[in-house]
Amino acid sequence: MSSGSVTCGIMALVETSLDNASSRRVSARLSALQPSATLAVDARAKALKAAGESVIGFGAGEPDFPTPSAIVDAAVEACRDPKNHRYTPAAGLPELRSAVADKTLRDSGLSVSASQVLITNGGKHAIANAFAAILDPGDEVIIPAPYWTTYPESAALVGAVPVIIDTDETTDFKVTVDQLEAARTSATKVLLFVSPSNPTGSVYSAEEIDAIGAWAAEHRIWVLADEIYEHLTYDGVPLLSLPARVAALGDRFIVVNGVAKTYAMTGWRVGWMIGPEDVIAAATNLQSQITSNVSNVPQRAAIAAVSGDLDAVAEMRTAFDRRRRAMHAGLNAIDGITCALPLGAFYCFPNVSGLLGRSMRGRVASTSAELAEIIIDEVKVALVPGEAFGAPGHLRLSYALGDDDLAEGIGRLTSLIADAS
């Protein structure tokens, strides 16, 4: 063994691929990584808008509201305090870790200590940290589809194997225990569980959560519970946390969450992962080598957010609920589109297979990806094709935009498709 591989574990990996290294510019792992399709659609919509086009953006997964002013005020104050101009602990400000632990007990009924919380650069970063902390190459991660586009990429980046289980409208896009059991192998390490779901808006019931949690506990499978949309449920659907409900999981769970969706703070980039102390310590170690602390001013803003009340999200929820119904009705009125009423998050995920093969303004889409292209080209409406979520034949439309824009976008779609033959 060379001295390099003794001092640095990653050298062993590097040495195994030295033979081909000189002929490659970009690493094999990053060459295989797909860009975020949702960010790409959003970037295209923003570029068209900047060029003066009237674009309706159903692509972005972000609230259209400004961040509540009390949170912004906390950030302004934090900017003026020199203590926030310095490095702080890699795991996050102790006050924020503790505020997140308190908030988790308040909202989910899950009791954790501050040392079980790692503050990350958004929920996306928490997912990457979590996978890096518990997965080895070859470990399998069960990911029900339609899935948020980041999950499989993030798992594959650490050499793990995403095992995709397809779901469809017949179960409201929810995975069943029978499906999970059929996918389980001796290499299964983690189940990715998200409710409310992006992209489908589906929400699991208490019975479904309990059954899935019991299955994971029985087979000693870790659950990574993504709870970023916890406060966005409609029609009286309760907020339910799998790790809080299923004590039998023991400490084999990680919760991912953040301020982005609840407090309209997508651009502030503060999220967190909650898990057992050894896993949090490992992820903190990783973070200390890669990013150090999350920017202090957004962390201070996040303290104000999670320790404050939930009035602002209640107001957003009322607006989203109205838009959800408007979008659902508008989509179902279009010949060739069928859409279930989503119960959470802020997305509709209609089935558009009835539009494939039809001619629209002289163009024919044979896939939902081609359909999304035609829609943005012809009527300047940006939406994300189901292919990005492992579910071709669908489109994802966010209803986190103004009521007038929503009506305008659905109107444009209706007129484009009305001409289809």
The site for ligand PLP (CB under 6 A) is made up of 61, 122-124, 148, 194, 198, 226, 228, 258, 260, 266, 271
Q: Which residue is nearest to ligand PLP (CB)?
A: 122
| Residue 208 vs 230, nearer CB to ligand PLP | 230
**Residue 140 to residues 156, 166, 187, Cα–Cα distance (Å):** 10, 16, 6
Q: What 3-state class would DSSP assign to 12? A: helix
Q: How far is the CB of 205 from ligand PLP (least distance, A)?
A: 19
CB of 223 to ligand PLP, least distance (A): 15
Name the nearest CA neighbour of 112 among 345, 279, 285: 279
C-beta of 63 vs 409, nearer to ligand PLP: 63
* Closest of 169, 231, 174, 232 to residue 399, by C-alpha: 232
Min CB(242)–ligand PLP separation in Å = 14
- What is the smallest separation between the CB atom of 206 and ligand PLP, expressed in angstroms? 20
Q: How far is the CB of 360 from ligand PLP (least distance, A)?
A: 29
CB closer to ligand PLP, 144 vs 416: 144
Q: 161-166 and 140-145: which strand pairing?
A: parallel
Q: How far is the CB of 94 from ligand PLP (least distance, A)?
A: 21
DSSP state of 120: E
Tokens of 347: 């997305």
Please state, as a whole number, how many other Cβ atoms lie within 10 Å of the Cβ of residue 278: 11
Give whichever of 148 and 234 is closer to ligand PLP, judged by the CB atom. Answer: 148
- 200's tokens: 């489908």
Supply φ then ψ for residue 144, to 5 degrees: -65, 140
- Of 45 and 260, nearer to ligand PLP (C-beta) is 260
Angle at which helices 37-50 and 368-379 pack, to 10 degrees? Answer: 10
Nearer to ligand PLP, 347 or 355 (CB): 347
